[in-house]
Amino acid sequence: MSDTLSPIDTAKFVAAKRAVEFVEDGMKLGLGTGSTAFWMVRLLGEMVRNDGLKIVGVPTSTRTAELARQEGIKVISLDEAKWLDLTIDGADEFDAELNLIKGGGGALLQEKIVATASDQMIVISDVSKQVDTLGAFPLPVEVIPFGWQTTKALIEETLVSMDVLGQRTTLRMNGATPYVTDEGNHIIDLHVQRIGNARQLALILNQIPGVVENGLFIDICDVVVIGHGDGRVETHDINSGETTEGLVHFAENENIFSDMGD
């Protein structure tokens, strides 16, 4: 469909384009992080500049904050906003109940706080992230740096005690040094293959001392917008059970493609 974008970027772009249709004047928005959320922030920027859309945004990472400011979106803190109308964010996996794995981009902590503080969360995704059972994507767990090796060992013990298939854990690296989140923490990725009881695992992981948060988003997402490489989008609303399908049209020469940054 697009000469400018690869099929995967087209899928991400059309998902974002459909999702921003949910945005209304005066909304307080949670702004997600990642390559799909990138398009959402760019599109919102256009709507602010060209259509006079009045919104304020609470970013979920320093990366998104920087992009939102560049786009002319007014950025405020979550404490200033207190509560949000809508959060739009990407995901690494989602299942039929719209439970998610997030944190591939390392922003799961702010993402979970922001999404939980929103009336509605919309996930924007290409179709490759749709799974029957969560767990093929390594589950990110944010831990404080103090004693992280002990925390990692405790996480592994927990996986064994829960009989989770695949119990390998790895410290996320940034080159030769551990990856550091916006909050100064580390991330341990859990290569569990398949998470039979995501709700239980999410609760138990957060009880381990040293664990700050895990990337399982249970009962947080309301709507998923799934983009395809040919421009089709599907929308599933978990609360109403409503599913819609359509085609998102866009011009190859949209200004938004002129200086793609991500």
Ligand X SMILES: O=C(CO)[C@H](O)[C@H](O)COP(=O)(O)O
Comparing CB distances to ligand X, the nearer of 154 and 223 is 223
Q: How far apart are CA 217 and CA 223, in angstroms?
A: 13
Q: Is 158 annotated as a binding residue?
A: no
Site residues for ligand X, 32-61, by CB under 6 A, read 32-37
Residues with Cβ within 8 Å of 135's Cβ and at least 6 positions away in sequence, in order, are 93, 101, 165, 166, 192, 193, 194, 195, 198
Contact 120, 12 (CB under 8 A): no
User: Could you tell me the smallest distance in angstroms from the CB atom of residue 109 to ligand X?
Assistant: 9
For ligand X, what does the binding mask look like between residues 153 and 192, x meaning CB under 6 A?
----------------------------------------
Least gap, CB of 108 to ligand X (angstroms): 5
Confirm or reject binding of residue 130 to ligand X (CB under 6 A). Answer: no
Q: Which of 42, 38, 39 is closest to 50 using CA atoms? A: 42
User: Quick one: which of 18, 42, 102, 228 contacts ligand X (CB under 6 A)?
Assistant: 102
| 87 vs 158, beta carbon nearer ligand X | 87
CB of 107: closest distance to ligand X in angstroms?
A: 4
List 9, 93, 111, 142, residue binding ligand X (CB under 6 A) = 111
45, 57, 59, 90: residue in contact with ligand X (rule CB under 6 A):
90
Could you tell me the two tokens for 33? 């992080």
Closest CA to 121 of 92, 76, 86: 86
Q: Binding ligand X by CB under 6 A: which of 68, 108, 134, 256? A: 108
CB of 37 to ligand X, least distance (A): 6
97 is catalytic: no
Does residue 213 touch ligand X according to CB under 6 A? no
Neighbours of 146 (CB within 10 A): 11
Site for ligand X in 5-34 (CB under 6 A): 32-34
Of 71, 93, 111, 213, catalytic: 111
- Note whether 103 binds ligand X by CB under 6 A: yes
Strands 100-101 vs 216-217: parallel, antiparallel or unpaired? antiparallel
Tally the residues of the chain: 262
User: 90 labelled as ligand-binding?
Assistant: yes
For ligand X, which stretch binds (CB under 6 A), given 1-9, 88-96, 113-121, 238-246? 88-96
Q: Which is nearer to ligand X, 100 or 154 (CB)?
A: 100
Task: Give the residue numbers of the binding site for substrate.
Answer: 33-36, 89-92, 102-105, 129
Q: Hey, which residues are catalytic here? A: 111
Where along the sequence are the contacts to ligand X (CB under 6 A)?
32-37, 89-92, 102-108, 111
